[in-house]
Amino acid sequence: GKAFLTIDANNTDTTYNSGLVQLSEDTNESGLNSNTSRIGFKGSEALNANTDVVYQLEYKIDIDADRGDNFKSRDTYLGLAHKQYGTLLAGRLTTIDDSVDFASMLEGNNVADIGPTFNAPRANNAFAYVSPEYNGTQFLAMYAFDSDTDKGGLAKDDQFGVGATYSTGPINAGATYIHYGDDSHIRLSGNYAVSPALTVGALYQISEFGVAAKNQKASPLSEGKVGDKKENTLIVSGEMKTATPWTAYGQATLIKNVAGNDGDESVGVGIGGKYAFNKATTGHVYTGYVNSERKNVKYEGSNETH
């Protein structure tokens, strides 16, 4: 399991149009946030010298509140792992693009929220395959049956994805393609260890939201309506280890045509540090700035779009 609890202070300045008048609201919020905290167990049982049965049950835990999504299922699966032929999993699984992200450094609940609209959701009734490593290369594949999915999951269509990762020396790189209905998402990512202390990374993703855009309705991936433009996301980051238990990091994110909506843009910058008390315990400190210009989002405080 993992317990990740933060104290966050947020200042939000919202500017929106009300008729011919432009209004602005400034809000300040602070409180505790539980970030990807979970509990569960996983293990394996040998069938023979080359094959193991592998399993995992994992559930979300909201440390700071008693909300309805406590004990919500995360990755839960049963599978077979073969030394020569790879690993096959079946169950509720995170999509394979999660294995191709060598750039995202931000971990806090707020500054880490900015990213692609499609970003490693979980798929129900899914299969995933990971090949053994061949000269630093691994192949990835997934398939999920047409089924109802929870908010943040995939659409009600058969889903499939393919990808590959490559690791050698100071370089990690990978690519994935995921498709369902008329929606598709292509991701490229990699990092490079400039020195033993400094690593730089980047991620670029193109997303199309064909099904929801045609029907002018919300995608299960987005709270607002999606559009028919291609969403483009670029993330660049750097991480530097020090001679102390501290590790410093920084990340910048640019998203054009957010959720496929023409002209919507988001820019985010975050910096922070991690202090390793021991192998199991890490302290975090971070700050960030996000600027979003959204024409197709309803502002709850005023019922105006901005």
Domain span at residue 36?
A: 5-305
pLDDT at res. 152: 45
pTM of the full structure = 0.86
pLDDT at res. 180: 86
pLDDT at res. 50: 93
> Could you identify the residue written with the tokens 């483009």?
232
Q: Which long-range contacts (CB under 8 A, 24 or more apart) does 82-88 make?
A: 82/50, 82/51, 83/50, 83/51, 83/132, 84/50, 84/132, 85/132, 86/129, 86/130, 86/131, 86/132, 87/54, 87/129, 87/130, 88/127, 88/128, 88/129
pLDDT at res. 306: 34
Per the structure, the count of domains in the chain is: 1
- Average pLDDT by consecutive 10-residue portion of the chain (306 residues)? 79 64 70 82 93 93 74 91 96 94 81 79 92 95 75 64 96 95 92 97 93 53 72 96 95 92 90 92 90 69 38
pLDDT at res. 8: 78
Residue 174 sits in a domain of what CATH number? 2.40.160.10
pLDDT at res. 305: 35
Dig out the tokens for 306 from the structure.
Answer: 């901005």
Whose CA is closest to 263, among 285, 231, 291? 231
Would you call 105 helix, strand, or coil by DSSP? coil
Whose CA is closest to 130, among 96, 166, 160? 96
User: Around 250, how many Cα atoms within 13 Å sit in the side-chain half-sphere?
Assistant: 6
